[in-house]
Amino acid sequence: MSGDVGAGVFIRNGDCLSLSLLQPVGWEDFAGVLLDEVKAGGRVAAYFAAPAAGTALDLFAVIVQDQTGNLRLLRSEIDGILVSLTPQCPQLHLFEREIAEQYGVKVEGHPWFKPVRFHRAWRRDSDAWDRDPGAALVPGDMEFYRIEGDEVHEVAVGPVHAGIIEPGHFRFQCYGERVIHLEISLGYQHRGVEARLVGSAGRGAATRRRLETVAGDTTIGHATAYGLVCESLAGVTVPPRAAALRAVALELERLANHVGDIGGLATDVGFLPTASFCGRIRGDYLNLTAELCGNRFGRGLVCPGGVAMAVDAELVDRLGRKLAAVERDTRGAVDLFFGAPSVLARTEGIGVVSSGTARELGLVGVAARACGLPVDSRRHQRTGDGFFGPPETAMMEDGDVQARGRVRKREIQVSFAWVAQALGGLPDGTALRDLPSAAPSSLAVALVEGWRGEIVHVAVTDANGDFSRYKIVDPSFHNWSGLAMALRGEQISDFPLINKSFNLSYCGFDL
């Protein structure tokens, strides 16, 4: 399950490791190994701190090796100051700011050091920016990057938008209509999810509901990651039928949201037939999930130990027939959109992110695969439950709006075919297993390929088996930086279209 090679320990997705086997190493060794791993093609899936003895903090890194399927865990210890690695490893920039905000740690050498979610530090009387402890913290109250010049102007958008959308603030520096720089400030929906999980036994209904709503449109993805963490800590693998039903539900979630995203792209370019069709068809996919568990977003379906709903042969047959009908409608609406010359003219070459930039920023999911990066947890970080989802990783090379749309189109095709096949061959047997007590003083990691990309949950337990730290990384945490880069050099009028092509989660970022 694990191997010790130099600094850190290697594990697989869904493994649990005793903290005694992951001893802290000196900062130079920790930083050197991390940077070497990233230089060799590794990705930082999680980088976070946890309380240690006295005022010290344990510093953990989870590095994904897509080539081998391994996860490399690193651990060090800091006290008061964290040396920034962002100049050498840009994908750490938000992680370092997050650690500073949560624990009041100064980050030495960070190129653009500011809050992430605008909340008070978890440690009383600690603040990385020495702000007045009696003053209210307001999201977006910070110094924004600014370009001076007679012909440069600034455009501020949000947090209140002219549509039914989550709150976020976008600050554009423009030369005429051309965007020179976009800075994104979020945190308006911060709920303190991670802080609320500390001390929890981890399997109560309230905890499960909280994890289901990390990002409401990714209920299955986050609930599955939480389930995998709990099962790993308990040393249990779910029954094959439960693993299959989880995978089916995850792909139905992907289908619903990809169809909705293509409908959103159609709306933004004024292609009304597909915009109208996809709005309805997305509801059809959500209704399939409701058939499984009684909730269109899948709440209550996935739980630690398996799935909570009984799925009989009659229901499976009904799902298969309805899925086939929805697929015909989906194919017509999507093909119509991508076959229109007017759509190609509005989406090709717009909002480009290069593969090099995507790799440096650690982009995941659709945003990464549209740049030619084969980042897919279903393929590279398989768990031991035997059901992995579709084997094909849909990719494009151009990194533009068209590419992100076409990745979704191909994933719709692949996911539909896989779900239809899986429903025809579900394993027999029970779909839920009781869990024993969680392992004390241990760490467990779970990666799940949500519809936006890689979801990461990491749990650290105390001597009683309760959570002493629970880290969540939604794919949007990585990908908002990609949106900012995609706007450089573009017309500001194309922002809604480029933004929709990423369709990132505000609440998943804000936690």
pLDDT one digit per residue (tens) for the chain, 511 residues: 444 455 789 999 999 999 999 999 999 999 999 999 999 999 999 999 999 988 899 999 999 999 898 999 999 999 989 999 999 999 999 999 999 999 999 999 999 999 999 999 998 888 999 998 888 899 988 889 999 988 999 999 989 877 778 899 999 999 999 999 999 999 999 999 999 999 865 667 888 889 999 998 999 999 999 999 999 999 999 999 999 999 999 999 999 999 999 999 999 999 999 999 999 999 999 999 999 999 999 999 999 999 998 889 999 999 999 999 999 999 999 999 999 999 999 999 999 999 999 999 999 999 999 999 999 998 887 775 555 667 778 999 999 999 999 999 999 999 999 999 999 999 999 999 999 999 999 999 999 999 999 999 999 999 999 999 999 999 999 999 999 999 999 999 999 999 999 999 999 999 9
HEC-encoded secondary structure of 165-209: CCCCEEEEEEECCEEEEEEEECCCCCCCHHHHHCCCCCCCHHHHH
Facing residues of 154 across strands?
173
Q: Are 93 and 364 in contact (CB under 8 A)?
A: no
Distances (CA, A) of 223 to 17, 216, 247, 318, 319: 21, 11, 12, 25, 22
CA–CA separation, 121 vs 102, rounded Å? 5
Nearest alpha carbon to residue 208 among 198, 219, 195, 192: 219
CA–CA separation, 172 vs 184, rounded Å? 9
3-state helix, strand, coil in the chain (%, to 5): 40, 20, 40
Q: Which residues contact 135 (CB under 8 A, 6 or more apart)?
A: none
Q: Which residues contact 331 (CB under 8 A, 6 or more apart)?
A: none
Task: Tell me the pTM.
Answer: 0.95
Residue-level pLDDT at 205: 80
Q: Does residue 159 have a cis peptide bond before it, meaning omega lies within 30 degrees of 0?
A: yes
Residue-level pLDDT at 385: 58
Nearest alpha carbon to residue 467 among 221, 243, 193, 218: 193
Report which residue type is found at 168. Answer: G
Q: How many helices (H) and strands (E) does the chain have?
A: 16, 16
Tokens of 115: 């809050």
Four-CA torsion 232, 237, 242, 243, nearest 10 degrees: 80
CA–CA separation, 382 vs 233, rounded Å? 17
DSSP letter string, 1-40: -EEE-SSSEEE-TT-EEEGGGS----HHHHHHHHHHHHHT
